[in-house]
Amino acid sequence: MIDPDLIERLIKVLDDSDIDSLEIERGGTRIRLGKTPIQPVTVGSPPSQDVQDVSADPLVQDSPTSFDEKSNNLIEVNSLMVGTFYSAPTPDAPSYVEIGTEVKPGDGLCIIEAMKLMNELESEVAGTIVEICVENAQPVEYGQVLFLVDPA
């Protein structure tokens, strides 16, 4: 465990410096501090026909995207960060979406909590939620599939 006094000193160093973020790992615990707050996340839509196909680029193949088109025409909605998945804005509120929910661009899908900041994930495609791939309050990894959407 990292000493709370060390955290306070690191925050002061970060505040007094020109750097934007700092990450430290000790004894299996990692802490990331940053000056710039995390903004709400909006996921991208599948590439249109006007966009050049970059799937042959090995760098693109190795990096997860927010939406990937599957062979059966379903669209994967992936997590854009490491954090905790929440299906509703508060514990007693209804879920943003359920299986069968019709979504359109701008609709909220879930919240990913990262470093005590709540980041709402919004859809940029129209379609129907056909699968919710994670449980409420489950930790998620960068690039992990959260939802499958049947495009409209």
pLDDT value of residue 75: 94
- Which pTM was predicted? 0.56
Q: How far apart are CA 151 and CA 135, in angstroms?
A: 23
User: Tens digits of per-residue pLDDT, 54-86?
Assistant: 444 444 434 344 454 444 799 999 998 999 999
CB-based contact 124:105 (threshold 8 Å) = yes
State the pairing for strand pair 67-69/75-78: antiparallel
pLDDT higher at 27 or 92: 92
Helix, strand, coil in percent for the chain, rounding step 5 = 10, 35, 50
pLDDT value of residue 27: 64
Contacts of residue 114, Cβ cutoff 8 Å, sequence gap at least 6: 38, 81, 82, 83, 84
Domains of the chain are 4-34 (no CATH), 41-151 (2.40.50.100)
